[in-house]
Amino acid sequence: MASRNRTQQKATTSPENSPAEAPVEAPGETPAAPVGPATLCLDIGGTGIKAIVLDGNGGPLCERQRVETPRPATPAALLAAIQGLLSQLPAFDRVSVGFPGVVKQHVVHTAPNLDEGWSGFALGAEIELLTGKPTRVLNDAGVQGYGAIAGKGVEMILTLGTGMGCALFVNGVYVPNLELAHHPLRKGSSYEDYIDNRTLEEIGRKKWNKRLRRVIDQVLPIFNPDVLYLGGGNAKKIQGELPPQVKIVENVAGLLGGIALWRY
């Protein structure tokens, strides 16, 4: 039964806008057989829900699929959208989910950019019932970080999209439930208020980039990461030179990082 599967799965502490493509084989080579088990990776965002199936080595078995996030983004509406995606995907053995909020033991505690009805929602168990497969759920910035990090030293990621996500890793180990986005930053505004997508649309790309530099200048001397990654859908709108330890990562990392939820 799906509920029994969920209790047996241990929460891991360990890895948008262009689709991932399968590697191209050289002429005359025999394509390598996919390595199992296959993992359905879901990346739930404020504007879109993305999905891909990966083989056991993290290689894509299909192209990325995407549907709009329903509004209002209630649990029932979001599960219905995910169910609609399933028919477009190949078979899979397990599921990884990146969710935009605090997640503990596969249960959602906050979802500031979705709907008030998410608090206490057992998303992992519900997706197991929907798919019939064991499921693990982690904060979406954590999943994207797993798709980017080298696993050495202190690494941090900020995801720039509908809101702002944040994740911290120490020697490849995820530090859970860090919600920097909602911490006060400037004149009563939080980090998220300062550089979220609504602000970008209101003030334009040039001013938004200046604000992003202020956020980077604030974060670096607090956490002193060896690398600070910038991801999310709005990372492609970053302009100008960045500090040497700051790197931009492709948003597809939010899907590819899902394989890491099953490494331990």
pLDDT digits (tens, 9 = 90+) for 8-42: 333 333 333 344 444 444 455 555 666 789 999 99
| pLDDT the model gives residue 187 | 85
* Cα-based distances in Å from 173 to 111, 142, 176, 246, 262: 23, 10, 9, 20, 14
Q: How far apart are CA 107 and CA 97, in angstroms?
A: 11
| pLDDT the model gives residue 7 | 35
The single-letter DSSP state of residue 101 is S
| pLDDT the model gives residue 103 | 96
What is the arithmetic mean of pLDDT over 179-196?
A: 93
The pair phi, psi for residue 205, each rounded to 5°, is -65, -40
Provide the token pair at 248: 């931009």
What is the arithmetic mean of pLDDT over 132-147?
A: 97
Beta pairing partners, 246? 228
2-22+33-143+254-262 has which fold? Nucleotidyltransferase; domain 5 (3.30.420)
pTM of the model: 0.85
Q: Which residue type occupies 140? A: D
The pair phi, psi for residue 99, each rounded to 5°, is -125, 140
Better-scored residue on pLDDT, 186 or 63: 63
Per-residue pLDDT tens over the stretch 198-254: 999 999 999 999 999 999 999 999 999 999 999 999 999 999 999 999 999 999 999
Q: How far apart are CA 193 and CA 195, in angstroms?
A: 6
Q: How far apart are CA 61 and CA 63, in angstroms?
A: 7
The candidate with the shortest Cα–Cα distance to 106, out of 176, 36, 180, is 176
Beta pairing partners, 190? 184
Better-scored residue on pLDDT, 5 or 150: 150
CATH 3.30.420.40 residue ranges for the chain: 2-22+33-143+254-262, 150-249
What is the arithmetic mean of pLDDT over 39-51?
A: 96
The candidate with the shortest Cα–Cα distance to 262, out of 52, 56, 82, 64, is 56
Asked whether residue 117 carries a pLDDT value surpassing 50, the answer given is yes
| pLDDT the model gives residue 12 | 37
| pLDDT the model gives residue 10 | 37
Q: Which CATH number fits domain 150-249: 3.30.420.40, 3.40.50.1360, 3.40.50.10490, 1.10.230.10?
A: 3.30.420.40
| pLDDT the model gives residue 33 | 64
pLDDT tier for residue 129 given thresholds of 50, 70 and 90? very high
The candidate with the shortest Cα–Cα distance to 96, out of 32, 61, 44, is 44
| pLDDT the model gives residue 233 | 93
Q: How far apart are CA 151 and CA 155, in angstroms?
A: 8
